[in-house]
Amino acid sequence: MHGALRLVGWRLLTGLGVLWGAATLAFLVLHLTPGDQAQAIVGGENAAPTPEVIAQVTREYRLDEPWYVQYLLHLGRVVRGDLGTSYRLHTPVTQAIGEQAGATLELAAAAAVVALALSVVVALASAKRRRWVRGLASGSELVIASIPSFWLGILLLTVFSFGLRLFPATGSHGFQSLVLPALALALPIAGVLGHVLREALEEVLEEPFVISARTRGQGDMAVRLRHALRHALVPLITMTGYWVGALLGGAVITETLFTRQGIGRLLLGAVNAKDLPVVLGVVLLSAGIYVLVNLLVDLLYLVIDPRLRDAPAPAARTAVEGSA
Amino acid sequence: MRTTSRPLLAAVLSLALVALTACGGTGDTAGATASSGPPVKGGTLVVGENGDEPACLDPHQLSATNTTVVTRPIFDSLLWQDASGKLHPWLASSWAVSEDGLTYTFELREGVKFHDGAPWNADGLKANLEHMRDPATKSPLAASYIAPYEDSEVVDENTLKVRLSSPYSAFLNVLAQSYLAMVSPKQIKEAPASVCEKPIGSGPFVFGAWAKGQSITYRRNPGYAWGPPGAAHTGPAYLDGLEIRFLGEDSTRYNALLSGEVNVIDNTPPSNVEEVKANPDLGFSTVDRPGHPFSIWRNTSRAPFADPKVRTAFTFAVDRAAIVNSVSFGQWKPATGFVTPSTPDYADGLSEKIAYDPAEANRLLDEAGWTAKDADGIRTKDGKRLTAVALDTGAVPQNTQILVQAQAAAAKAGIEIKIENVTAQVSADRTAAGDFDISVGIWTTNTADVLWIQYSSHNITTTERRGQNTTRLQDADLDEFLDQARAATDETARAELYTKAQARLIELAPAIPLYNRPSLVSFQKKVRGLGWDHAYGAVGFYDTWIG
């Protein structure tokens, strides 16, 4: 148990470093991309801000300070737990994110469930099966993982919404409007995960303990579910970072395509308008999610593999990764 | 090891999918009931708008193109502009302009109430003008539209005397635009920060809720009794409610109309307009927006377009009608001058002077001294190629297509155009700094004063201020016409001056006017009484009902 505590402490500490790094990078990227900041906030194609308005924006947001002063101001604010007020929306960043977070969470959770369920079911059904079954499964996984999610979304819309009129094409009102966006987001991820899981399953199914389970008279499905799956899940858990990232990144496109509310679209608008407080807020949120997810993954390893429970903290992960 | 295959699983999976889909089905397919009886009260109209969602709903803080569609239901304006460009009383019952054009006295309509119960009076108008100008409002557009506003004096409850620092004859026109609509003075005074999120006006609809990134809902204002004079009825709106959804994808928006998810769409994709017209269940309506047509701007402050002959030659080299028809599937009208016909003081009969004439283009370029041609067929003068740099953000596919087609046309006349892909920010900054030869743009406003905005030498970007004179045109004659037009208090005199300005611009050729941007609105036939706000060319819902 001591090892686990040290692991958590260590991960939280490095997590802070990750958050700081993410905030710094976001600031620098936004600051170094060309374009006048005040003009980005109140200017634009149809705008004609007066010099007084530009001066007000510059003064109010302290855009006339050197970059390092602005950087420290933002950092100081964030450290005090204040995410600030959006330049563009004129509302507190926490409110702006709060309004959009629910929709993204709903979409990401639905997509995660669909992706995991699909990949597990397909991998269980197709690992070590006849050649054509495997070929069909891995072929469709390859196709689905390679399709740009934008195109996949349009395909789903064309068939199920515009064509068959089974689902609405827009909005985030309830279950029906969640189906297509969740599928568009989940399918490419399911393709990759399914592929990885089948490979792992096939490896495990060759192991001596599987053969011994079979000789004890267990049925095929029971062997697969009770013995093989648990081992095969390790690489899937290692890939958690990948699919959480894919969910967050894919959400931007999916939300735009299906006209859903969400963090992705909020970020897109904020980056275009150089709305630093919102960009920092969303970046910190995503980085925080990554840190938490990775921490959970590390703890999950301990649950799955009892050998790691007393190992020294930093070595724990490498040991698991090595064995996986 | 290999056991029996499981095609069953595939069947189960597809069954699950069918089960999922079976609980779908939105119903309500566009059943056009062609009854033409009296208007029916009730119902909620769902409108599909494009993805240009405002960041805030305070009209004074907006410059987004959808401002009018989205905020007009909530807010009324001082004046109403009809289809012919004439201004009518609305929240102002009458007005008088002093001889020197510096003082405007507004008599205000009585009995008007805002949604929060605040009365409409001279104090309220003053509060609105001050709110637009206040730098703290950070107005991107309204503040510059009333830039000459000096101060105002409350004469009595319903009379306000407004003083300007310089004559500005477009003042009344811009006051008819939704960007300068009247916000509850109580809200401006007590909670100015809340206007963005919970806008309070005096309009036919009360703001309901705003699901950002998705939709805005409105409900009827039952006490509304001051509709605009152009409306087909008086009293409250017919609709119980209104919902505007932001559907960024063109195909999604169009298909949402076909499937009945929405009743009306704005910004119909031009490629679908013919389909809409051929569909017996759908109706179609359009108006051209006022202001400056969409144009190819040319930097007149540096070579090669510092020479008017080269500019005019480029204009003649381009088949504008062919380009506009090809990118808009025949749905946009080629521009006929430097303001669109739907703009007050538009001068007719100048369009032949911007005709397609490649022979004339070549003659002018020869005359300008670009006589030699190099191996690529590009004209040269003193060893220099006739090259121009065009900025393209790639954000609007049609703009890129226009530039590419103009590039091909120019090449035939021996002009080389290099298209540089840059971000919107870089494009804006380089355009302001004059570091470009060609860019594209449009300016929608309901006054020929747009020519002052775009071409007055006073509006060239300097170190102190960013101006909108993109082409950096400096012409004493034009400046004089535009300044005099601003000072004119007589409508006929103003129209004459703007006619002169438009003719002068044809000679100066700072831009190639390409097309008048229309609002393309498609709707289910059961939707009746869609109206227009002609001050912007935007669809309105005050008279609308569902049959």
- Quote the pLDDT of residue A311: 56
Question: Which tens digit of pLDDT belongs to each residue from A49-65?
Answer: 888 999 999 999 999 99
Residue partners of B276: CB distance under 8 A and separation at least 6 = B268, B282, B284, B522
B25 CB neighbour count, 10 Å cutoff: 13
B361 shares a domain with B243: no
A114 shares a domain with A248: yes
Binding-face residues of B in 117-146 toward A, CB within 8 A: 135-136, 138-141, 143-145
* Distance of alpha carbon A233 from alpha carbon B25, whole angstroms: 37
Is B466–A128 a contact, with Cβ atoms under 8 angstroms apart?
no
Is B213–A52 a contact, with Cβ atoms under 8 angstroms apart?
no
* Distance of alpha carbon B299 from alpha carbon B431, whole angstroms: 9
Domain region containing A168: 94-272
B356 shares a domain with B251: no
A53 CB neighbour count, 10 Å cutoff: 26
Instruction: Tell me the three state secondary structure of residue B266.
Output: coil
Mean pLDDT of chain B: 91
Is B466–A49 a contact, with Cβ atoms under 8 angstroms apart?
yes
Whether B404 contacts chain A with CB within 8 A:
no
- Quote the pLDDT of residue A92: 92
* Distance of alpha carbon A51 from alpha carbon A72, whole angstroms: 27
- Quote the pLDDT of residue A313: 47
Instruction: Tell me the three state secondary structure of residue B329.
Output: coil
Q: Strands B241-246 and B44-49, how do they pair?
A: parallel
A119 shares a domain with A259: yes
A280 shares a domain with A268: no
User: Which chain A residues have a beta carbon less than 8 Å from that of B212?
Assistant: 89, 96, 99-100, 261, 266
Shortest CB distance from B138 goes to which of A53, A100, A262? A53
The distance of A261 to chain B (nearest Cα, Å) reads 5
Is B61–A44 a contact, with Cβ atoms under 8 angstroms apart?
no
A101 shares a domain with A18: no
CATH number, domain of B512, equals 3.10.105.10
A227 shares a domain with A203: yes
Q: Chain A interface, mutation test: which of B9, B145, B198, most A Cβ atoms within 10 Å?
A: B9
A146 shares a domain with A122: yes
B450 shares a domain with B383: yes
Q: How many domains does chain A have?
A: 2
B39 shares a domain with B8: yes
**Domain termination residue (choose one: A230, A255, A272):** A272
A292 shares a domain with A170: no
Mean pLDDT of chain A: 85
Is A166–B55 a contact, with Cβ atoms under 8 angstroms apart?
no
B199 shares a domain with B111: yes
Closest alpha carbon to B44 in B217, B254, B221: B217
The distance of A127 to chain B (nearest Cα, Å) reads 10
What are B265's two structure tokens? 């769409």
Q: Which residues of chain B have pLDDT under 70?
A: 1-36
Binding-face residues of B in 9-38 toward A, CB within 8 A: 9, 13, 20-21, 23-26, 29
Whether B397 contacts chain A with CB within 8 A:
no
Question: Which tens digit of pLDDT belongs to each residue from B403-441?
Answer: 999 999 999 999 999 999 998 888 888 998 999 999 999
- Quote the pLDDT of residue B36: 61
- Whether residue B482 contacts residue B448, with contact meaning beta carbons closer than 8 Å, is answered with no
A251 shares a domain with A322: no
- Cα A273 versus chain centre, distance: 24
- Whether residue B483 contacts residue B101, with contact meaning beta carbons closer than 8 Å, is answered with no
Cα first-last separation, chain B = 68
Instruction: Tell me the three state secondary structure of residue B333.
Output: strand
Q: How many domains does chain B have?
A: 2
B192 shares a domain with B159: yes
The distance of B226 to chain A (nearest Cα, Å) reads 30
Compute the count of residue pairs across chains A and B with CB atoms less than 8 Å apart. Answer: 193
- Quote the pLDDT of residue A312: 52
User: Which chain B residues have a beta carbon less than 8 Å from that of A269?
Assistant: 55
Residues β-bridged to residue B391: B420
B46 shares a domain with B184: yes
Nearest chain A residue (CA) to B17: A179
Is B251–A154 a contact, with Cβ atoms under 8 angstroms apart?
yes
Please, which pLDDT band fits residue A117 given cuts at 50, 70 and 90? very high
B230 shares a domain with B346: no
B418 shares a domain with B379: yes
For a pLDDT cut of 70, what percent of chain B falls above it?
93
What are B19's two structure tokens? 């089960």
User: Which chain B residues have a beta carbon less than 8 Å from that of A194?
Assistant: none
B456 shares a domain with B338: yes
A147 shares a domain with A68: no
CATH number, domain of B122, equals 3.40.190.10
Is B26–A168 a contact, with Cβ atoms under 8 angstroms apart?
yes
Binding-face residues of B in 248-277 toward A, CB within 8 A: 248-249, 251-252, 255-256, 258-259, 261
Place of tokens 């079911």: A121
B197 CB neighbour count, 10 Å cutoff: 16
Question: What count of residues does chain A have?
Answer: 324
Whether B453 contacts chain A with CB within 8 A:
yes
Is B247–A170 a contact, with Cβ atoms under 8 angstroms apart?
yes
User: Which chain B residues have a beta carbon less than 8 Å from that of A36?
Assistant: 425, 428-429
Whether A307 shows a pLDDT value over 80: the answer reads no
CATH number, domain of A134, equals 1.10.3720.10
For the entire predicted model, the pTM comes to 0.87
A81 shares a domain with A48: yes
- Cα A121 versus chain centre, distance: 22
Closest alpha carbon to B164 in B209, B220, B124, B105: B105
Domain region containing B371: 291-516
* Distance of alpha carbon B203 from alpha carbon B224, whole angstroms: 7
Residue B277, class by beta-carbon neighbours within 10 Å (0-12 exposed, 13-18 middle, 19+ buried)?
Answer: exposed
A248 shares a domain with A141: yes
B413 shares a domain with B278: no
Place of tokens 């097309």: B515
Is B261–A169 a contact, with Cβ atoms under 8 angstroms apart?
yes
Nearest chain A residue (CA) to B252: A169
A237 shares a domain with A113: yes
**Residues B382, B383, B384: CA angle, nearest 5 degrees:** 95
Question: Which tens digit of pLDDT belongs to each residue from A81-105?
Answer: 888 899 888 889 999 999 999 889 9
Question: Which tens digit of pLDDT belongs to each residue from A15-56?
Answer: 899 999 999 999 998 888 888 888 888 877 778 888 899 999
Residue partners of A281: CB distance under 8 A and separation at least 6 = A83, A84, A93, A94, A96, A97
- Quote the pLDDT of residue A182: 92
DSSP for B54-97 reads -S---GGG---TTHHHHHTTT---SEEE-TTS-EEESSEEEEEE
Cis peptide before B513 (omega within 30 of 0): no
The distance of B136 to chain A (nearest Cα, Å) reads 7
Cα first-last separation, chain A = 23
* Distance of alpha carbon B140 from alpha carbon B142, whole angstroms: 7
Binding-face residues of A in 118-177 toward B, CB within 8 A: 121, 125, 128-130, 133, 154, 157, 160-162, 164-172, 175-176
